[in-house]
Amino acid sequence: MDGKLRIGPGVAAGIDEDLIKAQVHTFYGRVRLDPVLGPIFNAAIDDWDEHLAKLCDFWSSVLLMTGRFKGSPMAAHARRPDIRNEHFALWLDLFARTAREVCPPEAAELFIEKSRMIGHSLALGLAVSRGELPPLHAPRPG
C-alpha cells in the first residue's frame, strides 16, 4: 500500500482479508467442480494458486480499497469466447449461495451486491466487444 489509510465499504460490514480468502477459495473450489462452469475455468486457468491470489487481491481492492489488484478483468474475459452470457447467471447464483454460507449476513450481502455490479458490467462489456448488443435506436421507417 502507498501509506494512505483507505477504508473501503467492506470494513463496516466486517470484511477482512481472511474473510475474502475464505469466500474466494470456497467459491472457486465449487466453480472448479461445477458441471457447466468448471470446464470453462479449468481450461482457462493454468495455475490455480496464482489465480486465487489474484482474485483475493481483486476483492481486497473492491471491498477494502487496498489497491492491490493490477489487471484488466474485461480484457482477460474477452479473450475467452467460451464465456457466454448465460454463464454469468450461474456464476452469480453460486457466488451468492457461497457468500451466504461463508460470510456473516452483512458481509455476504455486500459481496453479492458488488458481484452483481461487476458481473453486469462484464456481461455488457463482453456483449459490446462481440457486437452482440442491438442498436440503441430502432431504425427509422423509410
Task: Tell me: pLDDT of 91 over 70.
Answer: yes
Report the C-alpha gap between 7 and 64 in whole angstroms.
Answer: 6
User: What pLDDT, on a 0 to 100 scale, did the predictor assign at position 33?
Assistant: 97
Of the candidates 87, 63, 93, 85, the one whose C-alpha atom is nearest the C-alpha of residue 130 is 85
Q: What is the CA radius of gyration of the chain?
A: 17
pLDDT tier at 58, thresholds 50, 70, 90: very high
pTM for this prediction:
0.84
pLDDT tier at 46, thresholds 50, 70, 90: very high
Q: What percent of the chain has pLDDT over 70?
A: 88
Of the candidates 103, 76, 97, the one whose C-alpha atom is nearest the C-alpha of residue 22 is 103
Could you tell me if residue 37 is left (phi over 0), alpha (psi between -120 and 50 degrees) or otherwise beta? alpha
Task: Tell me: pLDDT of 60 over 60.
Answer: yes
Domains of the chain: 10-129 (1.10.490.10)
pLDDT tier at 1, thresholds 50, 70, 90: very low
* Residues whose CB falls within 8 Å of the CB of residue 74, separated by 6 or more in sequence, listed in order: 122, 125, 126, 129
